[in-house]
Amino acid sequence: MANSTITFFVNGNEVRVQNPDPELTLSTFLRYKLNLTGTKLGCEEGTCGACTVAIARWNALEKRARFVSANACIVPLYLVDGALVLTVEGIGSQKRLHPIQERLSSGNATQCGFCSPGFVMAAYALLRNNPTPTADEIRAALVGNLCRCTGYRPILEALESFANPSGGCCMGGQGGCPCKESTKENSVPDKEPLLICGLVNYEQMRKFDESSEIIFPPKLIMQHRQQSFVLKGKRALSATFKSLVTVDRFVSTGIKMRLDHSMNPSPTANAVWLSIQHIHELKNVVVSDGIIHIGSGLTISEFVVAIRAHCKSEQYVSTIDELFAKYSSDQVKNTVSWSGALSSALPTSDLCTLFLALNWRIRLLNLSTSEYRTLTADQFLSGSYGRKTAMESVEIITALLVPSVPKLGIAAFKHGKRLGADDSVLNAAASYDEATGSCRIVVGAFQRPLILDKSSALRNGECPSDSIASAIDADFEQFSVENEFDYKKRIAKAALTDMLSVLAGTVQEGGLSITRNALEPLQLFKGSDPSISPVGRPLRHAAADRHTTGEAEYVDDIRIHELKHAALVLSTEAHARIISIDPSSALAVEGVLAYVDAKDIPPGGKLRPSLSPLLMVQDDTPVFADGVVEMIGQPIGCIVADDVETARRAAQLVNVEYEKLPAILTMEDAIVAQSYLLPKPMQFGKSQEEVDKALKAAPILLEGELEIGGQEHLCMETQSSIVVPQENDEWTLYTSTQNPSDAQYLCANLLGIPVCNIVVKVKRLGGGFGGKATGDHIARAPAIVAANKLRKPVSCVLHRYDDMITTGKRHPALFKYRVGIDDDGRLLTVHVVQYIQAGYSMDHSVLIAIMIQYADACYRVPAMRAECWALKTHTCSNTGFRGFGRPQTFFFMETVMAEVAQRVGKTLNEVKKLNLFNEGDRALCGSTIRNYCLPKCWQELERFSDFDKLYKECEEFNKTSRRIKRGVAISGTVQGLTSHWFEMGNAHVQIMLDGTVRVNVGHVEMGQGLNTKMIQIAAAVFKIPHEKINVIEMATDKTANAFPTASSIGTDVCGLAKACEKLLEGIQPHIDQHEGDFVKALMSAWIAKVPLQANETVKVEREAHNMPPRELTYFTTGAACVLVEVDCATGEHKLKLVDIIMDLGDSINPAIDIGQIEGAFMQGYGLMTSEEIETDCNDQITNATVSGYKIPTVHMVPERFRVKLLENGKNYPGQIYRSKVNGEYGSASLYFTCSLTIRPVEESASHHCSQQLLSIRRYGWLLIRIEARSTSNVSIRHLLPNEF
């Protein structure tokens, strides 16, 4: 009789589950059954790595446990039967950190912390198998883990300290700082004794010791299950077999089938999954008669290991190793079977392409007749009657047959939209039989892997590029109607060129390798002043230990009794009238409680709660569509159910009938239709007449237009809210918002109740970047309407897909401009008109339009006029994003500077330095440039990076390298702070009688280190150890009417120092009386009825320092030098080095500030390279997944990443401890340097290629072309890689 109980161990404890639902994932079980919430959910598709756990099974042959990292969100629970599962909670805790947790937390490798448990467990699985890995092995293990905050440098530096040997500049603090002590030209000279080099010394930390880890349970070693088990769920039946003899139907692991099945909302969508997880015969590797028999139950990782162990051809092994080193993630590679990959016959499957190129054989078993047959790859992939393969429905794959001594020469190629490991855009493989001279070339690009007949006829050797192009054209002709046809055809030409040269043994210059030099990080900063310690010290993030142990709590980790779950019903039309809504099918699903929409807003409540005189920003976004939908993804209503999976599936069953209306989907269409949010544009600068006159008088006129696309925030934590009704119509909200005060007011307006009845609490955010200033209402507002209707607590945590299609992005922008310059390249006048795509409602778009006042960036323009129109389109309402509109304007101005340099025949660096602001200049925004150090940062950076030498080296390299080109450039940034609108903050401080202090400020911790700096400030004022300070959650019942947490200005405006100073004034006499004993002084003060708590609201001091009331008090400035390598054949590129110098005044915490600089740079690097929002003709986002939207990975981190904080800048005396806030834009703009580095490549590239490199970001790679017109205009346009 089949068993229905699975047994496994979690963190050393035995777990037995009776008949688990086959659809139940390991992550859901861990989080909601065992309450192990350290396993985070960021994507629910096995891509982001936040849910990474370590899974161990006993290997009887090796007599040891083998550990693998796995994505718990895609692993069905039943597949861990007989395994040991380790989560981040199981290896360490805040009180006793594991060495991995200690190095990540002490190494400043956490910011928001949401992704940190995944990185911990990915590294843990690696170290359990290999305690002394190489740096390359560590990086390979982390490629499946994504981070949106840190930029990866501190994560890599911390974990590569386990490497043998650890490498990189100053890593581990071994023997001081070679950069600082060296006499090389590009080193930091010895005359800077006040500078501190490096943030962490890893040599002082505990080593990884396998003997102290959880052992594999002896019970699982001894246990040998003889019988199969069968599991019955609501919608699925799963059977796992122990013997091949008992199998009677098609077999799979269940991973892909479960993921596909979960997307089917029907409650009657029954399925049968049969698993080969435990069939011994299919888990073996046997070598017989020169053939390697690789069992079909093995994973892709195990397939690669088998090839490595048993194949006698070094070229075979190295080629296959290199190909699968680019696999999207180790977690997936460790989980999915190679047989499942072959069965898919997908063109993006690297294994399918390799299989067909080498024409390996495969063994099939007929379950009806028990007969075996063997097919070649040609035969297997020749499916008929609509089937992808020749495998019958009653057949299963049992083994792959690979020659152990292959006679063929092979080559492989893979190209993704990101450098390094990624999903394939195009893969290729080739084999060559030297005896017969035959060649077989296969490309995976469209529909299924394809043998290229014409290309294969080229055989091997160096073929003329014209012959290769003609062959590819002929082979690809049948796919001419496919998407991305031209793009993939050009990549295929590069693939064919590379592989033919490899087969001929004449490799001269290939593409970019993912193999990296040792990471060379460096952080330089001024030493702290002991009199104000711990201010100025690089303390780690205050919650770093909880981040890395999984103890840090986010909204979805909060457990509320009887909590119900809401899922949104979203529009599928861009612009339409709603004819009818029928939720009956959804309400019929077991566990569904209610359907909620606009009709459920109570009397007195507002459908558009952001339209209120009490709010600074007026926004007409409705909570639910009411009669008309105006974007795909607009919330129409929501379904509330007992669990989140039921709610999400049922929401898809709500039937909405539409009458389509005309839709405006693009900026061009909106301009033609004059579809604007406001009747007039935002305007700054000179009058039209003055600018026209200046343009007419300018010796040289440039004119053109350019466009930049949007960017998805992709916070690791999606929009999330929990709403809890209380007595007396009072409410407590736990929500992921950057703006708790507005959330409080909006909920009150929505329900029509007093604001004082609502308390909003925010402990931390799993990333924000501006996307949770207003975007959080998409989850919060439906939840509170539902909770009000049901009078039960309701959670709304958006699925990643829903989050990406409903929430606003960075605004796409179009610029039309005229620029007047003199013969030296000096800017005389600029007239620019910007158009931003606002979307269907206001959100923050009007404020973003106002940011056109910063269109002069960091350059002096005597006569400038800037205008911005916010365009109303039937698309998502775009919102604030790091930099808040200014990155778009910097992109414009940096592009203009490149055009100026090209026109006057000077280097870009010369022209930019010529036009930089000077102290005392007047900016376009109307403020005087003061407390400003950009020229100094620039000069210091030229020396720090040895820019002139780098520039010459790039020129020499490009003369001799035909395919790989290098470019180097410097770019600057400037941000004026603080705006008088935001110069008010509040803080609440309580001193306890034991000498500890509790702090609550009116801003939110979201990874920027605000709480850490607050702790340092409070400790400095009270002169007590920083460990005695605790910053608690932001809550509107303690700090009300606070401003939004934005622009990284929280440290400037929170007012904590004033509150602490106010308290200290009262207790100082008692401190003196008790000779500095703080605890005794507090008791004395308390007895004397001296207040020990204070709530202070302050503003930035201006009058005392003769500062005009509405001008900016100081400017955060910085400069970056970036060197990039570009593959001219594919468009791939690699950051070789990044050096950054920033003026942050006297930094309160250098570790926090440097982390923000690095993270902003890498996030902007994604904007300009790999990140692209793809839509169809109806504006439906087609890559609304973490796998489809390409944020940077660990493979994209520069080999040399150095940051220095300027030690002698100009500070505003009215700022807290003379610091300058980092400014989310202050470092975010530096990433535009990436685009400028390619410009010096153009002349060299065009010398070797038939055309110039082209501009702008497309298909993941940054390429630039300036196309001069006869009228001296310039235009920037989208084209494809390799279009020379």
By annotation, the residues acting in catalysis are: 1224
CB 256 within 8 A of CB 340: yes
User: If you write DSSP's letter for every residue of 1033-1081 in order, what string do you get?
Assistant: -EETTTS-SPPPS-TT-HHHHS-HHHHHHHHHHHHHHHHHHTTT-HHHH
Q: What is the DSSP string of 1164-1228?
A: HHHHHTT----B-TT--BS--STTTS----GGGS-SEEEEEE-SS----TTSGGGB----HHHHH
Write out the two tokens for 803.
Answer: 């989050």
> Which residue do the tokens 């931390």 mark?
764
In 72-163 the beta strands, taken as DSSP E runs, fall at 84-86
Side-chain half-sphere exposure of 318, counting CA atoms within 13 A:
6
**How far apart (Å, rounded) are the C-alpha atoms in residues 22 and 5?**
12
> Pick from 1281, 895, 958: which is nearest to 1123 by CA?
958
Q: Which two tokens stand for residue 941?
A: 């950076």
487-488-494-499 Cα dihedral, nearest 10 degrees: 180
| Residue 638 amino acid letter | C
Angle between helices 135-142 and 116-129 (to 10 degrees): 130
The amino acid present at 435, given as its one-letter code, is A
Strands 372-376 and 361-366: antiparallel
Integer CA distances (angstroms), 21 to 226, 238, 246, 1054, in order: 22, 9, 22, 50
> CA nearest 1124: which of 1204, 1231, 1254, 1249?
1231
Is the alpha carbon torsion for 1175, 1176, 1179, 1181 positive or negative?
Answer: negative
d(CA 716, CA 40): 9
Q: Which helix (H) or strand (E) holds 455?
A: helix 453-456
Tokens of 891: 């992109």
Q: Who contacts 326 (Cβ-Cβ below 8 Å, separation ≥6)?
A: 350, 414, 416, 420, 421, 422, 514
Distance CA 53, CA 1050 (A): 35
Strand ranges, E, within 166-301: 195-197, 229-232, 236-240, 271-275, 285-288, 291-295
- Helix H, strand E, coil C: the string for 183-199 is CCCCCCCCCCCCEEECC
**Cβ neighbours of residue 563 closer than 8 Å, sequence gap 6 or more:** 722, 793, 794, 795
> Cα–Cα distances in Å, from 348 out to 318, 445, 447, 495, 667?
21, 7, 9, 15, 33
257-264: long-range contacts at Cβ-Cβ below 8 A with a sequence spacing of 24 or more?
258/22, 258/23, 258/25, 258/74, 258/76, 259/45, 259/46, 259/74, 261/23, 261/235, 261/236, 262/23, 262/645, 264/649
